[in-house]
Every structure is written in C-alpha cells, then in structure tokens.
Amino acid sequence: MTLKALFAASATAALLLATSASAAELTVGFSQIGSESGWRAAETSVSKSEAAKRKINLKIADAQQKQENQIKAIRSFIAQNVDAIFLAPVVASGWDAVLKEAKEAKIPVVLLDRDIDPSGKDLYLTAVTSDSVHEGEVAGEWLAKTVGGKACNVVELQGTVGASVATNRKKGFDAVIAKNANLKVVRSQTGDFTRAKGKEVMESFIKAENGGKSICAVYAHNDDMMVGAIQAMKEAGLKPGKDILTVSIDAVPDIFKAISAGEANATVELTPNMAGPAFDAIVAFKEKGTVPPKWIQTESKLYTAADDPQKVYDSKKGLGY
C-alpha cells in the first residue's frame, strides 16, 4: 500500500511540477478519486486521451480514495489558477467550503461521474454523470424488443444489496418489465457484483428452474457477474446467448469477448468518457460564455453482436479495465 501511495504521490507531484510546460490554450485540473476499480482506471486514461485530442493541458491528482486529498488537490489547482477544475467526488458531502474558494477565484468546477449534496448546487458549473435507472431501462427495452411477444422468464443477478447503482439498475429494468406482460422476473438474488458469486448464484438458479429449461433470459447488474453466469450455464450444458439470452451493464472488455464468441447477447455501456463532454462544456463556456445545463447525462449505449464486438474489445482492453 505504501509503495503504491508513494508512487502515486510522486506521479502527482510530477504532474503538478509540469505546470505551464506547454503553451496549451486551456489548463484543467482533475481531482480523480483513485484506482478503486477497473472502470476508474479506464476513466483516467480516457480523460487523458480526450484532453490530448483537444490539446488541453490536463493535470490529474490521484486522491487515494480520500476526501482530504481531493480538497488539497483542488486548493493547489486554485493556487495555480487553472482554467477549470474537474472533480470526481469520493463522497457527496463536505465540499461547500472548498468549492466556494474555487467560485471566488472564478474557476468553474465540473463534477464527473458522481453528484454532490444539493447544498452545493450553485457552486459547480455542471455535473457529467450517467443515469443508472436509464441503464436498467435500456437493458429491459433490448430484452422486450428481442423476445417480441413471447412469454419470457427472466432471472436477475443483482449488485450488492443497498448499493445505489444496484437499486437504480433494478428500478429501471423493473419499470420496463412492468409494461410488458409477457416478461416476468422469476428469480432475483444478489451476486455482489463479482464473477465468483455470479457463477454460484446462476448455478442455483439453473437447478431451481428445471435445469435452466424454464429460464429464457438473464439480466445482470454488471458484466462481471454475467461472465460468471455464462460459465455456470456452459457447465450445465446450456448454450448462453442461444438457449438463454443475456443482457448486462457496464461494457467491460471481457463481455465483448463473450459477445463475439456468441455466448452473450447485449451489454449497456457505462461510458468511461465523462471528461469528453465536460471538456466540450468548458470550451464552450470559456469561448462563447455558453452556460451548460446543470446535468449532462452521458449516453447509455447498447452493444450487441451487430456492433463488431471484437473491435470494441481491442479498443477497450488497453484502457486499464
């Protein structure tokens, strides 16, 4: 842990020292949470490439999952008088003081991926986040469209009980199911967002549902659980993607491998590109004074076998997922 911290700290210092090295038009400071998940790593690398595309000078400060580090990073960005600050807040509360400082320094702040408490509403310019209820809806709509009018028993692998992402992805999916009388969720259990639990839970679903013969589709709140579930189906002699339809969320590289092998059907992307729309909003704000809407919703894109999964896999695998 200490090694990692040291490394990250020196990397941050190096990034901060490299200030005004290039004569880029805009300098943006990004306080990133840390490397909590593969998705987070992908978000960081996409932010870098999106910045390079626009010739924006991006400084990333890794906060090691600590709010105090983020506050420190924001203060140092203010001291350096950057043109804008991006913040992926590790928690929702406790930002008012430091964001007020940024506001007084007339530096616009954009929230990435996560929102903060309503009390800070007028302290930031805009928030770029995905809508996880909508992700569930996109998954549900794909399923409804694919099965048509046929009766379909769905089993659901939920995320960690109590996690807001899991609750929202369930809510969005359930809303679509409720509109289609032929769709029915027959079993729903938590797989804790992990491959191992996804596999174990799917094994029990298969046994409980007549060897899997009465299951028509699986919906998983993330791709990792689906990768586990696909293994469980194969070991039970079922053909995932054919005997049982699959739809999951996140669009991590490994699910594209499964889609191109015909073992998975669809995934809804939680895009790691939160910085792209944020850069566009900042550029428009700085150049033309256009005030963006308070919430910029990222696209929840659906991927199926028709979207050249092998190519998507190749483009995603280097991002650090």
Partner 1 sequence: MTLRIPRRGLAQAFALIVILMIDRAVSPQFFNLHLQDGRLFGSVIDVLNRGTPVALLSLGMVLVIATGGIDLSVGAVMAIAGATAASLADTHSLPVVIGSALAVGLACGLWNGILVAVLRIQPIVATLILMVAGRGIAQLITEGRIVTFTSPDLVWMGNGAVLGLPTPIVIAIGMLLLTGAVVRGTALGLLIEATGGNARASELSGVGTRAMILSVYVWCGICAALAGVIAAADIMGADANNAGLWLELDAILAVVIGGTSLFGGRFSLVLAVAGAMIIQAMNTGILLSGYPPELNLLVKAVVVLAVLLAQSPRLGDLSRFTARWRRSKP
Positions that interact with partner 1 (CB under 8 A): 1, 3-4, 35, 37-38, 41, 158, 161, 187-190, 192, 194-196, 199-201, 203-205, 207-208, 224, 227-228, 231, 235-237, 254, 320-321
Shortest distance, CB of residue 50 to partner 1, whole angstroms?
A: 21
Strands (E), the chain: 27-32, 57-62, 84-87, 109-112, 126-129, 152-158, 183-190, 217-220, 245-250, 266-269, 295-297, 302-304
- Report the C-alpha gap between 310 and 259 in whole angstroms: 8
Contact 60, 32 (CB under 8 A): yes
Task: Give strand pairing partners of 240.
Answer: 244
Q: Residue 22 or 37: which CB sits closer to partner 1?
A: 37
Contact 33, 88 (CB under 8 A): yes
Q: Residue 297 or 310: which CB sits closer to partner 1?
A: 310
Contact 249, 219 (CB under 8 A): no
Shortest distance, CB of residue 207 to partner 1, whole angstroms?
A: 5
Q: Residue 97 or 196: which CB sits closer to partner 1?
A: 196
Residue 298, SS3?
Answer: coil
Q: Residue 228 or 240: which CB sits closer to partner 1?
A: 228
Contact 226, 254 (CB under 8 A): no
Please give the biggest Cα pair distance in the chain. 66
Shortest distance, CB of residue 172 to partner 1, whole angstroms?
A: 18
Shortest distance, CB of residue 306 to partner 1, whole angstroms?
A: 25
Q: Residue 121 or 318: which CB sits closer to partner 1?
A: 318
Q: Residue 66 or 294: which CB sits closer to partner 1?
A: 66
Shortest distance, CB of residue 321 to partner 1, whole angstroms?
A: 6
Shortest distance, CB of residue 133 to partner 1, whole angstroms?
A: 19
